[in-house]
Structure 1
Amino acid sequence: MSAESTPGPEIPGTPGSSGPRHRAKGRRRKDRKGHTGMKIAAWTAAAVVVLGGTGAGYVYFKLNGNLKSVDIDHALGTDRPTKVDNGSENILVLGSDTRSGSNQKLGGGADDGSARSDTAMIVHVYEGHKKASVVSIPRDTLIDRPECTDTDGKTYPAASGAMFNSAYSTAGAPCAVKTVESITGIRMDHYLEVDFSGFEKLVDELGGVKVTTTEDISDPDSHLDLKAGTHQLTGEQALGLVRTRHGVGDGSDLGRIQLQQAFIKALVEQVKDIGVFTNPKKLYDLADTATKAVTTDSDIGSVNSLMSWANGLKGISSANMHMVTMPVQYDPADANRVLLDEPKAEQVWTALKNDKPIPASATKDTATGQADGVVTAG
């Protein structure tokens, strides 16, 4: 059953729909640019926000049925950082795969159904929702992982010197959130997880993303082979780019993070020039793919609540997003691992707790990955 042939349901933005009409005006480039920045930081939130209205009947129930959610509050209980009531918000965004099905060919590894998280970002939305800071967390950071309980009620013991991404693979979303909160002392207000295979499909439905590489990038592990120059990346190539670590810089996860941040900026530029707002069918297909790719916390686990939440972020443009990597230093005992630079990291957490900009001193002389400038938008 398609959105075009089914009688009755209303696709947002079409005549007779109940969604806000301004969402369909694709020619107003200035409006679209203002709506894209924060959405792209979460990758799939773009397609969710541009719904513009839930419509009714089949369309609503189809999209609502796509969403998956996790009751983070129930899993973590009350032993959490205090919720700050200053108008700001903190969102943990993860990119994940399951090592099974369509993800297996994308990520390599065994087809054992195990879950991994290769991408993690804390998105801090400032009071007024006009600007945001994005702090990428290197997956290879050695941390003290707290005791965690998964959504089935099984408890896992705390671990010292564990890799950051082991929290997700050990006990899923609740453990990832609890670990971030234990590192930062900051309560995560929301959780948004993006499936890698869904991310690939989204990029393809957007028509690809245009980037320029200043050097050749070749990484068989991520199935990526790009010559220096300008490319319109397919979904598969885009996924390879945000996951590669051996083809650029010093070969570390930090270099991969720099590519991810560059790709996000390129994606912002791409979305603001795409006429999905003038094509209801394309808009529906994009939203269908996006909602299938997303797992959220239960507070925003429906199309209505997710849209309402994301609509409050529409005023954040890419120019008002400050992107940094959590301050770390290379582990002297293992070049493939990094250690939290606690004094500098504390500057970051203190700034976010107080809803202040992250000072430049917080990231000065920290490990970088040496891949800055390898990829640019357009």
Structure 2
Amino acid sequence: MSAESTQEPGIPGDADSTGRGRRAKGRRRRPQGKRRKALLIMAWTAAGIVLLGGTGVGYLYIKLNGNLHSIDIDHALGTDRPAKVDNGSENILVLGSDSRSGTNKKLGGGADDGSARSDTAMVIHVYKGHKKASVVSIPRDTLIDRPACTDAGGTTHDAATDVMFNSAYSTGGATCAVKTVESLSGVRMDHYLEVDFSGFQKLIDELGGVDVTTTRSIKDPDSHLDLTPGTHTLDGEQALGLVRTRHGVGDGSDLGRIQLQQAFVKALVKQVKDVGVLTSPKKLYDLADTATKTVTTDSGLGSVNSLASFAEGLKSISPQHMSMVTMPVQYDPSDPNRVIVEQTKSTQVWTALKNDQQIPKSATEGTATGKADGVVSAP
């Protein structure tokens, strides 16, 4: 529901209308065009703005609760997983899917075939006390060994070697993505959140845009993006273009794009904290309605009350207390369009999170970066 839509019954009035060293064996990247590019960190925002569910307004609760879609990942994966760590921390896998069906077809490009891939993946580690967080981005082009997994429909998928990380989601959906991340990291994922193209764009528009500062021009016709150096308020289309672009800045790699995404996440979190949506009940409802229609969760977050409680635990985390890194990788010597895990340094990252400790700076020094650092920041 948008701000221009007819007001739903019972909605308060609104006074304000406003790897392992394996090589890629000569594989080459296929042209991508406009598809397979999205974000996902909108799940963070989706959780943050659904707090309306705790107000006790019966109609709104039922309406928003009915919007949510959840997957019983714990049941599908069974007991063959890393052990839960009972130290007060939480690990959340956040995925941005590039479904090319329905309204996402225009945004993602390609045929309306109902297929989807995980375009962006971030592991969010919320430290004990829920005052700070570390975010680890996993490059989708990372060559990995994908474990055997069972999807949400009960179908088992065989293991595969030397495949791209994002093949896990396209093969077996959310459950296989979680299984792959846990196999890669040795860290148990406590929750799962997923957001698609169209929902991301709508949420940015309903937030009134997101302010970012660029230090150089970013121009990418494929992403419909043309920004001069300076401060901009990005609408949904521009924000989607920014987090999709590969060729607007840096070396055109997925690693450079990840840097832009991480900078945008910080700007987005700042915007959500500053927007004051609680002062406008109808604006809050519109945001919550879009968010709950957009997000897919694990069953543990599959109700408005659960999602609201989860969001309550995140709201004290400011951008200044968010550490953002990319899983340590190196370019594949046989194919610069692929990366392989830098095993020693990656182990440092995952061990730190498992022990609820800060990621040491040494873990990311000397790894592939993509050369887009410092291009975008919150004003």
TM score, norm. by length of structure 2: 0.88
Amino acid at match of 2:47: A
State the match for 1:60 in structure 2. Answer: 61
2-structure distance, mates of 1:41, 1:342: 29
Residues 41-87 of structure 1: CA deviation (Å, up to 9, x unaligned):
723222123x2624233211110011000000011011000111111
Question: What is the match of residue 85 of structure 2?
Answer: 84
Return the alpha-carbon distance in structure 2 between the equivalents of residues 356 and 191 of structure 1: 21
Question: What residue identity is the alignment partner of 1:327?
Answer: P
Q: Does 1:117 align with 2:80?
A: no
1:318-368 alpha-carbon deviations (Å, 9 max, x no partner): 211111110000111111111000000000111111111100000001111
Q: 1:44 aligns with which of 14, 37, 46?
A: 46
Alignment of 1:195-234 (within 5 A): 195-234=196-235
The whole-number CA distance in structure 1 between the counterparts of 2:68 and 2:48 is 15
Instruction: Verify the 8 A CA contact 1:122 1:134 in the aligned structure 2.
Output: yes
- 1:5 deviates by 5.5
Q: Which residue identity does 1:321 align to in structure 2?
A: M
**Cα distance, 1:156 vs structure 2:** 1.4
TM-superposed deviation, 1:109: 2.3
- Does the 8 Å contact 2:48/2:314 carry over to 1? no
Q: Which one-letter code corresponds to 2:373 in the other structure?
A: D
Q: For residue 351 of structure 2, give the secondary structure of its aligned residue in structure 1.
A: helix
Q: Does 1:308 align with 2:309?
A: yes
Cα deviation code 1:177-198 (max 9, x no counterpart): 0000000011100001112210
2:37 — aligned with what? none
The 3-state SS of whatever aligns with 1:264 is helix
The 3-state SS of whatever aligns with 1:151 is coil
Aligned residue in 2 for 1:242? 243
Shift of 1:229: 2.7
8 Å CA contact retained: 1:10, 1:55:
no
- Of 249-258 and 100-109, the range deviating more from structure 2: 100-109
Post-superposition offset of 1:3: 8.2
Paired amino acid for 1:95:
G
Q: Tell me if structure 2 keeps the 8 A contact 1:202–1:235.
A: yes
Q: What secondary structure, in the 3-state scheme, does the structure 2 residue paired with 1:42 have?
A: helix
Q: Give the aligned partner of residue 27 of structure 1.
A: none
1:232-311 matches, within 5 Å, as 232-311=233-312
Distance 1:5 1:312 in 2: 29
Contact 2:91 2:125 survives alignment (8 Å): yes
Separation (CA, whole Å) in 2 of partners of 1:78 and 1:3? 47
Aligned with 1:44: secondary structure? helix
Moved more, 208-217 or 127-136: 208-217
Alpha-carbon distance in 2 for matches of 1:239, 1:55 = 34
After superposition, the C-alpha distances for 1:255-301 in whole angstroms (9 at most, x for unaligned) are: 01000011112223322332321111101001001111100000110
- Does the CA contact (< 8 Å) of 1:107 and 1:222 recur in 2? no
Kept in 2: contact 1:10–1:57 (CA 8 A)? no
In the other structure, the counterpart of 1:330 is 331
RMSD across aligned C-alpha pairs, in angstroms? 1.9
> Alpha carbons of 1:312 and 1:206: their partners in 2 closer, same or farther (altered >3 Å)?
same
Deviating beyond 4 angstroms after TM superposition, the runs of 4 or more aligned structure 1 residues are 1-5
Q: Provide the aligned length of Structure 1 versus Structure 2.
A: 350
SS of residue in 1 equivalent to 2:49: helix
The equivalent of 1:366 in structure 2 is 367
Whether the 8 Å CA contact 2:53–2:305 is kept in 1: the answer is no
Would you say the 8 A contact 1:40–1:268 is kept in 2? no
- 1:348 and 2:314 are equivalent in the alignment: no
CA distance in 1, matches of 2:307, 2:275: 23
Q: What does residue 141 of structure 2 align with?
A: 140
* Structure 1 pair 184–90 and aligned structure 2 pair: CA distance change class (3 A): same
Contact 1:242-1:259 at 8 Å conserved across structures: yes
TM-score (structure 1 length as normaliser) = 0.88
From the superposition, tell whether residues 3 and 109 of structure 1 become closer, same or farther in structure 2 (CA, over 3 Å).
closer
CA distance in 2 between partners of 1:266 and 1:371 (Å):
16
Whole-angstrom CA distance in 1 between matches of 2:109 and 2:42:
26
CA distance in 1, matches of 2:8, 2:96: 34
Aligned to 1:36: none
CA distance in 2, matches of 1:181, 1:224: 35
The match for 2:19 is: none
Corresponding residue SS for 1:110: coil
Contact 1:116 1:169 (C-alpha < 8 Å) held by counterparts? yes
- Structure 2 unaligned regions, length at least 5: 15-40
State percent identity of aligned pairs: 76
**Inter-CA distance 173–115: structure 2 relative to 1 (3 Å threshold):** same
Looking at structure 2, the residues matched to 175 and 101 of structure 1 have their Cα atoms a distance apart, in angstroms, of 24
